[in-house]
Structures are given as C-alpha cells and as structure tokens.
Chain A
Amino acid sequence: MAITTIPMITYPGSMPCQATPGSTNSVLNAVNDKMAFVFQCPKAGTLDKAVFEVANVANQPDNGIRVSFQDVDPSTGHPDGVQDQYRDITGVIATGWQVPGLMTSDGTDTGTKRTVTRGQLIAVVIEFVSFVASDSIAIGWYGFGTHIGFRSPPYISNAQTGTYAKDAQGMPMVGLLYSDGTYAVTPNGPHPGIPTQISYNSGTALADEYALRFKVPFKCRMRGVYHVTDADNNPDLVLYDASSSVIDTMSFVSAIRSSGFGGHYTHLWPNGPHTLDANTVYRISLKPGASNVVHWSWLVPSSGWLAAMPGGVEWYLSRRVNAGSWTDVQTQVPWASLILDGIEFTSAGGSGGSHPFIL
C-alpha cells in the first residue's frame, strides 16, 4: 500500500517549551500553605492516585505531607477545601517524584476511591498533614510564562502564601493512575514529566549520543523532527534504523538560529521524507562535536509512567558512547515529536497493527 499524503502533523503532542526549558516550584512553609493542580480528567474511571514532584526539602515536614483529590469550586476555580480522598506521605521525603499509596476516603488502602467522569474537573492538592514550625518543602510545576499557560484548566491554584491564587503561567506537573492500571494521557499536558537537561559532547565518557528511541503504531512518512535542545556547536541530528544504520543526518549550522539559549527547533531531513514502518524501532540521536550540546528530556516516576506520556511506552531515551550498543533509559522521554506528512491506510482485510497505548 502507498503512503497517503495528509496535512502535516506533529506526532505525538507535546507541551511547548519556555525560554529556559525547565520546571519551577513553590515553597510551602506555613500552616495554610498548599499547592493545587486543577485539570480535567481525560477519561472516566476510578482513580488510584496522583503523582507529583517535591523539588526541594529545606526542612523535613515532621508529620509528612498530604495529597488529596478535591472538587473544584465552580465560583472560584479553586479547590473546595474538602479532602474527599487523600493519602499521607510520611517519613523522610526525598526530592523527586512522590508516588503515594492509594488515595481513598479514609487515607488507607481500604477506603473508597474517587470515580470521575470524562472531562470532570478535579483538584490535586498538596499540603502539610499537620504543620510544625520550620517544615518546608517545594512543590514542582511547569512554568510557561503568562501568555502560553492555559486560561481554562489545566492551571495552578497556588496557595504558597496561604491563600489560593491562580497562576496563569503554570502547568501542573502531575500524573493520574486509574484503578485499572491505565493512566491519564493528554497531548498537551499535564504530563508526569520533570524537564531534565543533559550536557555532553563527543568526548563525554558516559555517552556521546542521546537519542529518542521510538516506535510508531502505523506506517507513516516523516519529514522532520521537532525537538527541544540547545543546538550549540554545529551538532548532527541522526536518524537510525533498528540496527543502528544511518538513514539520514541533519547537520545543523548553529549560526543560523534565533538564539543561543535552549528552545525548540524544527529540523527537516535533507534526504527525506522517510517512511517509518509500524511498530519498528528507530532512533533520532543528537550527536555533538567536541563542544557541548544540551539535550532535554522528561523524567517520569518509573517506566510504567511512560504510558502517561503522549508517545506511550515505546518512546524513551537511549544513549551510547563511541558508537557502541545502546543503553535504553525507560524513565526519561526526550522532548521531541515527529513531523509527519503521510500515513499508510490499508484496505479492509489488512492489518491495522496494534500498539500498547493505553487511553
């Protein structure tokens, strides 16, 4: 079957990046301080838990922190203050993703879970179980800048000063796990990914190539790549097949760009477009010369949470050194999408393929 030309799409969806792609955070250090993520559930179901990031622990909360599901007050857009389902996180809290136990009506594994409808507004609220003077933690979120943050949910209701105020530049950094083992996944966020950067060059010992390792669930035609990087020092962008043979190389001239800071780039394959087979491994590698480039990716709580990212469980980071074998890192997702302009449609009776996206 032939590839049919389609209007160009950037696949899968992605959040746009900010001037310095990265997360920000808000410090909770007083009795009424809270952070709330307000967003819509992409599908109906029963919720197990929400994950979030603690970006810093300045002073360990003596009684731990509580994460709760709350209704959203339609008159204010803020959480209604009722902890309908919750879980406490106690003990020593480390920075990074927080994956609480089941969030239920009584905060135990045997309480009642929350059931949501498709599109239902929900607030995930993080606060102290019982504040003790000097408790201080920072909750991570994603800062866009005022003008690109959503007006409608998803947004931040930030009570780091004790009173809720919406943050127009905030995107929640949160993930939802349903009771059937599936995840909330959206094209534009919120995502359970912490922006992470890696600086390296051709002499870096750990790896001199960082790549998006991916499969697409349909046969398609790729014109180029959207990716977030800091393309200093004339790096190459290389497309490999599953056996690491080079399909194409885009050599970037760093002088021809609008800024020397990190940002997003759209690159076209000089010998493209290229046909990608369904359910087949490819890699797109950022390969520097002797000077550093910066590669951005999303850090997810664990490999299972890849399913909550737009690319699904077959999109993650690979790295290698000296053109050796690849090491897959299934807890990081390069910040990249494919620019597609064709899909193969088969006639009735053919195979449509399958792919482990869980929607």
Chain B
Amino acid sequence: MAITNVGPFTVPNWFYHSADGLATTDAFSFGRMNASGDKISFIVRAPKAGTLNRFVFHLKAVGNNPDNGLRASFQTVDTSTGHPDGTQDQYRDITGTLTATFQVPGLMTSDGTDTGSKRTVALGEPIACVIDFVNFVASDSVDVSWFSSSGFNALSDRSHYMDEASDGSYGIRSDSTPCIALEYDDGTYAVWDNGTSIGVPEITTFASNSNPDERALRFEMPYECQLTGVMLQIDADAAVDVVLYDAASSVIDTISFTAALRSNVDPGFYMAYWPNGPHILDADTEYKISVKPTTTTSIRIINRLFPSSAYLASTPEGVEWYQATRVDGGSWSTDQTRRPVIHLMIDGIELTVTGGGGGATSRTFVG
C-alpha cells in the first residue's frame, strides 16, 4: 500500500477562518439592537434535509437586559430581496437575565413551546434565523455577534450572510459571516465549511515561562494521509516553535518561526512545511500540533470557543479536534470547548486499507 498523491488541500480550508486574521476585536463584530423594530438575522442554507430543533447564537454584550426577553425565529427568505419575510414561522423566547455568551433557546416551534410544530428544511434551502425583541421596552440593548471581514467582503461567502436591521430596516452586510449553529431534531448539527460557525474567536497570550507554556491542537484524522505542512493563526512577536507530537508526546518534527521573518506585526496566518516531512498520519490516531514559545516574550494564539464539546460536531473538522495544553513538558490537559486555529496541509491519502476495506472507522461526523 502507498499514499496516493492528491492535489494539496488544507483541513479546514483557508477561508473558513479568513476573518480571524484581523485583530479579533474587529473580526468578531456585533449588531446592536436597542430600539423597537431592531433585528439581526442570519441567512444560511441548510446543508442537509431534516427537521430543525433550534439555532444557537452568541451575544457579545448585554447593555441593558431586555425586559421581555429576545425571540429567536426561523423565517422564510424573500427571494426578491434576500431578507427574512417577517413571518415568525417557528420561534422561541429567551427570557430572564441574559448574559454575554452563547444563547441556546428551547425548541423553536410554531407556537413557541415544546409541543408546537418544528421546521422541516430541504437540502440547500435558504433559511433566515432572526433575533428580535419579544416586546421592546425603552433601554433594552443587546449586541448580537457575527464575523466580519471588515471591508474585505469577498472573504465572506456570498451565499451566507448577516442581515442587519439594527436601525429598524434590513441591510445585508457584504462583509459578514454568520455566527450560529443549527441543530436538527436527530441531535446532529449543520456542518458548513464556509466560515459560518458558532465557535467564537478568543486570543490567548503566553510565553515560555507561562503556565501552560504549550498550547496545542489535539486531533485525529479519520483516514491515513500525508501531512506536508501547517497553517495557523498566531501573533509571533517572538521566536516560537510549532511542534508535531505523536500520541505518546514524542516529537515528530518542529517548525521554528522568528519574528523578523514576517510581513506584519498583527495576528494572522503563518504557514510552513515540516522540515523533515512530509509525515504520514495514521487513521484514527491522536496527534498534537503545539505552539511553543521559546522565549519569555509573549506571543498570541487564536482559539475558537464553543458552547460545549458537542458543538465541535458542527465544524468540518469534527469532534476529535480540540485544545490540549501543558507546562514544562508534563502531561496534557484537554479542553473540548476550545480549538486552536490550526490547519493541516495535506497532499496525500492512503486509499487502500487493510482489514477488509471500508477505510476509516465509523465516526460521528455528520454532514
């Protein structure tokens, strides 16, 4: 058996995290709702047919808790305007004290209760996921999160977008990518590979004398493949190593970045080929790619934070990709709600497997 060379690709694709290259305070934007008629909607296309439980969104801030809560609704997209049609076909109210974090409404149904009818969607069907006030009261104010490519609007998929009515009437944001998750009634999630995600960016600063002093992507690939390089989002203000470990934490290879060899001092994409690579990754086997500062000058790494570990299944990489950290070469601690923004550069796949074929073992990826 041998690896078959294939056209090189990255997992996930580059533009999946294209907005993250901005300073995250810019990339992770928000639409402010603070008046009657204000709404934020996310227009997405159902990646598979099925029945929907809900969509999950994120509040970046709660300026003043809405007295009567927020309403999340599914609406039909007006094919003449690209806006929601204004009819709350299925909805759920979120009441009580809201905090600036993920919002996971109850079942979204025709009557807003657990017993109403859910929405059924066809493959590729446009859906509007709309957030508005249940009943606005003066001073109500929340900020709904979305991803911005900050004017570089072609970086955002044209077919998924945020439609902002923060001044009462809808306007489609050309530089937007939705920050939502879509849950089906079989417990699966919509998986998009166009940047739409409920994983929100966060920056972590650390150095060689920090605890932890290594922050890694712990991952598995469901098929044997050839890893030629890595692409990641960091801010390498000082020397930093990127280390590939096997499951026993033995070093397979190391890439060293230096601060002089970069085009810009802001966080952004770095890429390199493994100097002793390419390396074969066995199927269903744990590896880690660790970001390891080599001086006491801090560097920064960009993570994505998810509502819970289950939501890793809403990403193209799936549930086996998440954060691992350690200090002083000790044992690793994992956090399945966080994932460093690290991409694999693959240029070969083993298409022949032993043990009767079938390739990779069954996984929990749900497309």
Residues in chain A within 8 A of chain B (CB atoms): 1-2, 4-21, 40, 42, 72, 74-77, 117-119, 121, 144-156, 166-168, 170, 185-188, 217-218, 223, 226, 228, 231, 250, 253, 255-259, 261-270, 272-273, 310-312, 315, 337, 339, 341, 343-350, 352-355, 357-359
Contact = CB atoms under 8 A, between A and B. Distances in A.
A74 B122 CA distance: 54
Nearest to A342: B367
Given A151-B263, A266-B194, A261 B7 contact: no
B159 A266 contact: yes
Given A153-B261, A261-B174, A185 B153 contact: no
Contacts of B267: 151
22 contacts: A9-B9, A10-B13, A13-B14, A17-B154, A18-B152, A18-B154, A75-B260, A118-B276, A147-B266, A150-B263, A150-B270, A151-B236, A152-B262, A152-B271, A155-B263, A255-B80, A257-B158, A265-B159, A269-B124, A272-B123, A346-B357, A359-B348
B242 to A, nearest CB: 10
Contact of A5 (B27, B269, B367): B367
Decide if the interface of chain A is mainly helix, strand, loop or mixed: loop
A146 B8 contact: no
Contact of B367 (A15, A266, A341): A341
Contact of B47 (A6, A12, A223, A264): A223
A348 B224 CA distance: 14
A179 B342 CA distance: 33
Interface stretch (B94-102, B180-188, B201-209, B358-366): B358-366
A144 B264 CA distance: 13
Contact of A266 (B22, B193, B229, B356): B193
A122 to B, nearest CB: 12
A341 B268 CA distance: 28
B158 A11 contact: no
B223 A4 contact: yes
B9 A13 contact: yes
Q: Chain B at the A interface: mostly helix, strand, loop or mixed?
A: loop
B193 A118 contact: no
B: interface residue count bin: 35 or more
B274 A119 contact: yes
A1 B360 CA distance: 13
Given A346-B353, A346-B357, A258 B8 contact: no
Nearest to B321: A7
A187 B271 CA distance: 11
Contacts of B194: 226, 266
B294 interface: no
B79 A253 contact: yes
B191 A8 contact: yes
A341 to B, nearest CB: 4
Given A217-B6, A256-B159, A151 B264 contact: yes
Contacts of A346: 351-353, 357
Interface of B: 1-2, 4-15, 18, 21-22, 27, 43, 45, 47, 77-82, 122-124, 126, 149-161, 172-176, 191-194, 222-223, 228-229, 231, 235-236, 255, 257-258, 260-264, 266-277, 316-318, 345-360, 363, 365, 367
B357 A264 contact: no
Nearest to A5: B365
A155 B217 CA distance: 26
B126 A226 contact: no
Nearest to B259: A77
A258 B153 contact: yes
Contacts of A188: 10, 14, 231, 271, 345
Given A150-B270, A344-B351, A6 B174 contact: no
A151 B154 contact: no
A349 to B, nearest CB: 8
Contact of B4 (A74, A339, A352): A352
Contacts of A10: 9-10, 12-13, 193
B13 to A, nearest CB: 4
B174 A258 contact: yes
B67 to A, nearest CB: 33
